[in-house]
Structure 1
């Protein structure tokens, strides 16, 4: 590992007792025992990547997920559907059999032709299936969030006094709602709520971030944030049932946004009910496939659109994007033909699902 003080490259025997043998200064994290193999230098670099060199503030929970992708248990290796061990012998046996059957169209040749066709079909099918992978099994992080805090951030605060710049704990973030909010953002995830509040999302967009439907102020439109898992997708329906009289918009992460991403992290969640999984066709546990910076942009887009709707006007940024996608019409003739039909695809482009009644 690299010493965080003198930048010396230390072997394990040169850093016993969490002390550098070169400069005699102590460090906090030992990669061989710390969660996710983190060292002091590795933790600082991970925070710099997540915060985009200090542009945003991230939480300890987000750091836990970001650094744990290489330390998974439970089906982390994808499996192929077919097998080359079956495809190759079937093709090697089927092709010569067909070659033997061609000069002998009757009797034994007909039987050989049928057998050859069957072997070739089996070989081709197995080879095609080999190019495809089975759906990834749910995975779990090797270290839980509580263990990560006890073994990484708590010792760091004791050793250095403060966390790295741009990293905060969920408990240290205090909400600062505006005096006259124009909308409410409902988010059950404590880490995401702290992330939004730490980046002054409430003040900049004049919204209030709440943890449950009971905390939503009366008369405000509501944007529901959720992950792409089974329970997350159903949270919008639960919010609409609990907030009768409120306008409820789905601003969460749709499954299609992460299904095709190879780096999306699917987590096992044992408390998901079987009937929930059946209703959602096995979408599984929460899927996290967005960086904090991308997540902030997604939420800001949904909040800005809700604020404009509450004020009775359209979002100018979305209107400009609609013109770019639909194409401008001739002067005095409005938008090009078919523009109205293409505008609903804007919601998919921004990864925000809007209710059918609002289109």
Structure 2
């Protein structure tokens, strides 16, 4: 099989390239050539979708599967699709659950409405860009494109830093603010399992939209933090606190305490998407403990969360240590008795 990876040096792109190489595929990556060299055996084409003649390197060549993680201008996604349409077998676009139109219901399915988006747009917010790119690709390729609406992606190489923040925090030891309830269901996918699903889907030529994430409740927040304790071997103490008290203190779910979205919160749907189709397609997800342990091993090797390939720097995730300490002190003072 011949893979064209549009990108290929970032989190999902890098995992997809590695998976394809493990399968013995011929791999070509197309990117700006500014974020590290590709693995040995990978052919690199250099170009920039947003510059005049930036697609020249893609003018020739044929591929069985294209995987694209683009989150920029929808117009650029459509231009690439039109250029490649006659020379590819199937197109797999890594989209996002963020495309769903608010208010998003818990248990959201692929049939629920998405945000209004222009396939010819050159700017917009993240949901509009992803939804616009979906429209642009479908207009050109129809059922020859799979719209893989990924959920929370964890695993080695994570360049946002959600799981790395928890691992690093627990590795520091002492008392850790643990947001309750401990049995809160968590929904995520290991990047390596996502990569395998993307390539399997391209090979099978699946089309349409699909929520690609593990089952909600296959792990809990308590199990996630316990796995972090096991992986790091840290002498940390989890201080479980009711979500109402944490929210009252001004803590923002997902951002201040990564991955955590409490019950009944307006963002709770992010952790409770319907994944019937993905599992019917054969999605397989590894145990949480493996994802956590492998992420810790990777993080110790690289030293810090890498910058995001080709994207502006993001604000750091997670509570500042001084703010966490102040919160713990306040919560202890408010505790009855």
Bin for the TM-score computed over the shorter chain: under 0.3
Which one has a larger percent helix, Structure 1 or Structure 2?
1
Which one has a larger percent strand, Structure 1 or Structure 2?
2
Whose Rg is larger? 1
Question: With structure 1 as the length reference, what TM-score do the two structures score?
Answer: 0.26
Higher relative contact order, chain-length normalized (CA < 8 Å, sep 6+) = 2
Question: With structure 2 as the length reference, what TM-score do the two structures score?
Answer: 0.27
